[in-house]
Chains A and B, each alone.
Chain A
Amino acid sequence: MFGLPLETTLLVFGFPLLWIVYTAIFLLVTRDWEHDTPEEDGR
């Protein structure tokens, strides 16, 4: 892909994909953390 050897392709695209999935799971698991008062950190 993009003229890169397989291992490099895995490195370049694999880890970002991993983190996207991790973040998606994090957002899914914490979907109840959202609250309607849009107050920002005061401290």
Chain B
Amino acid sequence: MTEVVVIRAALTSTEALCVVASLTGDVEARVEKDVIFPYHCFEARCAVPTLAGRKKLDMICLVDAVNGIGATADEFQLKRERIDVEKVLATEIDADEALEVARSTVTHRLGRKLRTISSFDVELFPRGLVHKRFWIVRSSEARIMVDSTNGSLHPLKLRAA
């Protein structure tokens, strides 16, 4: 067992099951297990140019610690949990690589949304690893993962890497 920081879930395993069951109509669907997915968490402080001067803006950027893909994220709450180590996916991306990805992601996103060529004075503060719980639901021959923080789902293909 190990202690990790987990993003507080919005869905229990039962709720995840309901989401899938309602979509597939499969009453035999069941939650097989849960998987804990690691992300490098960064706090980004930026200064964004607007008509009323530069406005400060804070945001969170999570970098997927297995694939190295970054995304800005909504506010979330964290809690510490004791987890079975085997449930946690191994981290492949180290913090330095993740920092670069985070910087790219934030700058790119701001540039696209604000449609301006300007420096956003992005400062990134590493906040360590956080984890998301994904419920794995088995339904009529298919396996589906459900994001416990927002109920998003994605079918799974099991293939040897």
Q: Do A and B interact?
A: yes
Query: Contact residues of A with B, CB < 8 Å?
Result: 37, 42-43
CA of A43 to CA of B71, assembled, Å = 8
Query: When each residue 48-84 of chain B gets 1 if its CB lies under 8 Å from chain A and 0 otherwise, what string results?
Result: 0000000000000000000000011000000000000
Query: Can you list the 4 inter-chain pairs with the closest CB atoms, starting with the nearest?
Result: A43-B71, A43-B109, A37-B151, A43-B72
Smallest beta-carbon distance B20→chain A, Å: 13
CA of A42 to CA of B147, assembled, Å = 15
Which chain A residues lie closer than 8 Å to B72 at the CB level?
A: 42-43
Smallest beta-carbon distance A37→chain B, Å: 8
Can you name 6 A-B pairs with beta carbons within 8 Å?
A37-B151, A42-B71, A42-B72, A43-B71, A43-B72, A43-B109
Smallest beta-carbon distance A30→chain B, Å: 16
Which chain B residues lie closer than 8 Å to A42 at the CB level?
A: 71-72
Smallest beta-carbon distance A26→chain B, Å: 22
CA of A42 to CA of B150, assembled, Å = 13
CA of A37 to CA of B71, assembled, Å = 21
CA of A43 to CA of B109, assembled, Å = 8
CA of A42 to CA of B72, assembled, Å = 9
Smallest beta-carbon distance A41→chain B, Å: 11
Smallest beta-carbon distance A39→chain B, Å: 9
